[in-house]
Amino acid sequence: TPVLCRITVDNKQTVLTTGIYCKPDDWNSRKGEVKESRSNELLIRFRNRIEQTYENILGRQGVISAELLKNTIAGVNAVPTCLLQAGEAERERLRIRSLEINSTSTYRESKTTQSNLRDFVLSRGMEDIALSAITEEFGESFKMFLKKDLDYSTSHVNHCLCWLNRLLYIAVDQEVLRTNPLEDVEYEKKNPPKLRHIERNELKKIMETPMPYERQELARRAFIFSAFTGLAFVDVYKLYP
């Protein structure tokens, strides 16, 4: 029978196999020991490893969860603890998902947003940044980097900020972070749409300037007619004598 290790952090539990086996009758549940001394030594080492890993994660990230501790000990499907690392993990998930649904649009878009995020992190003299080290200032600076340094449109700035928030909320779900540090970072306001109209003096100039060619002149007159009747220019073309 396998000896299992139950990990409890903040009233949340998970179970991890120790790789140690014993007969049910040889297990002392009160002491957490087995009769065979060699197995007990392995259990002590395993327990010490868990305690050391717990302290390392807590000291490095400032936050710990049962699932995070389990994944770190197991070394399989470890939860990313750095931003760019998390981004690549999410892109891999999107790649697999794109094959399942036969659509690659989201995966292809993530390439640009992840690249922009990497450029920003590198511009701060880092190869990556711990998720626990991300602050509101990081988010605001990322927006300025996209607007000033890369001269991106409001729409693309918001798209990149959405990708960053996505990675942070995934980290919250995986209990790497307790909260999203960028919750108060606002998205950029969209630019007001350009009104499709001309000024009075522009209309007057059109009225006073005949066109040299017949079809151009017809288009000029049709436009003037639509301006005074309120008909759409395309509807004027549908009129007939």
How high is the mean pLDDT in each 10-residue block of the chain (241 residues)? 84 82 82 81 85 82 78 69 90 86 89 95 93 93 94 93 95 87 91 75 91 90 86 76 60
What are the two backbone dihedrals, phi and then psi, of residue 102, each rounded to the nearest 5 degrees?
A: 60, 45
Residue 195, Cβ neighbours under 10 Å: how many? 6
The pLDDT, as a whole number, for residue 28 is 82
Residue 119, Cβ neighbours under 10 Å: how many? 13
Domain ranges across the chain: 2-74, 83-173, 200-236
* pTM, entire model: 0.57
Residue 69 near residue 50 (C-beta atoms within 8 A) = yes
